[in-house]
Amino acid sequence: MKIVVIQGPNLNMLGVRETNIYGPMKLEQIHAQMKDFAAQNGIEVEFRQSNLEGELVDAIQECYGEAHGIIINPAAYTHTSIAIRDAISAVGLPTIEVHISNVARREEFRQKSMIAPVCTSSIIGFGPFGYHMAMIGMLQVFNEMKAQQEMQKQAQAAAVK
């Protein structure tokens, strides 16, 4: 199984920008922890980060046929990007939205996610640990999909008899 982790604008500045909100961890440290978890669970993980909306759309589209799931922190584009929303919808992959801060407790303009309605779930406000939670969540999604496929195979086999 392959998960692509897509990071939006300014996340490359973690550990520097507004540490009172986002904490001291750098993006590379978060990715290293995710790599360790992926290795322990037999999952391939790939990381992408861009400050450009179109590059994020490209990264999502490139997941089609290449990945089994997406973990995305669209950052500021969460609140404005119909293009990212449409790309997630188009690829049809399980997608978990992550936000380090609790956006529901922040400025009003940050409280509406354009992305959440097309995602499998959202994890907000747990700091960098939210990415670990997303990895666990994606494993659960994969297990549920596998169980559903197995049930369909059994139903088809029973129908043939």
Instruction: Supply the residues annotated as catalytic.
Output: 22, 99
- Under a CB-based contact definition with an 8 Å cutoff, are residues 4 and 48 in contact? yes
Q: Residue 39 is encoded by which pair of tokens?
A: 């290795």
Q: How far apart (Å, rounded) are the C-alpha atoms in residues 136 and 144?
A: 13
Amino acid at 59: A
- Under a CB-based contact definition with an 8 Å cutoff, are residues 137 and 102 in contact? no
Query: 49 by DSSP, 3-state: which?
Result: strand
Q: How far apart (Å, rounded) are the C-alpha atoms in residues 125 and 109?
A: 16
- Under a CB-based contact definition with an 8 Å cutoff, are residues 73 and 99 in contact? yes
**Element holding 124 (H helix, E strand):** strand 121-124
Interior CA angle at 34 toward 114 and 75, to 5°? Answer: 25
